[in-house]
Amino acid sequence: MRAVLQRVSQASCKVDGNITGQIGTGFLVLLGIEDADTEDDLQWLAQKITGMRIFSDENGLMNKALADVDGNILLISQFTLFAQTKKGNRPSFIKAAKPDKAIPLYEQMAKTLDALTGKKTAAGIFGADMKVSLTNDGPVTIIMDTKDRDF
């Protein structure tokens, strides 16, 4: 699994002109799922996301986590995070999980984030043509990949 975590002051997602999710302060999480991903990857990534201390404290240092700022999460599925761009100019998405594998993991990620934060995770719609807007705070953007962790 791969996630792009953006600290935001606001973010929203629209599908066909209708808002499917919106938040104020918190994280916009773009989530890519590949065929090799497991429940263990999901649990590790969810813990990292909710524990990430990238909000400023009273001294302007990044020491506060999502819970410390009463923040929320907007979760967006993003298969393009697994784009392979080595050959040619048209990316290949062969490593991205197909919907039959990706949808259950995406839905489980939302439920896991709900449980870890005690709040409902706002979300886009898997596979839809989504219009995502955000105000990146900082900007602070962190890229996480479950294949890069130490076991």
The span from the CA of 4 to the CA of 7, in Å, is 10
59-64 long-range Cβ contacts below 8 angstroms, 24+ apart: 62/140
> What is the distance between the alpha carbons of residues 8 and 72, in angstroms, rounded to a whole number?
10
The first and second tokens of residue 81, run together, are: 């995070």
| Residue 85 known to be catalytic | no
The first and second tokens of residue 15, run together, are 């599908």
Helices and strands, number each (H, E), in the chain:
2, 8
Pick the catalytic residue: 20, 38, 50, 80? 80
Q: Which of 47, 14, 72 is nearest to 144 (CA)?
A: 47
Catalytic residue ranges: 80
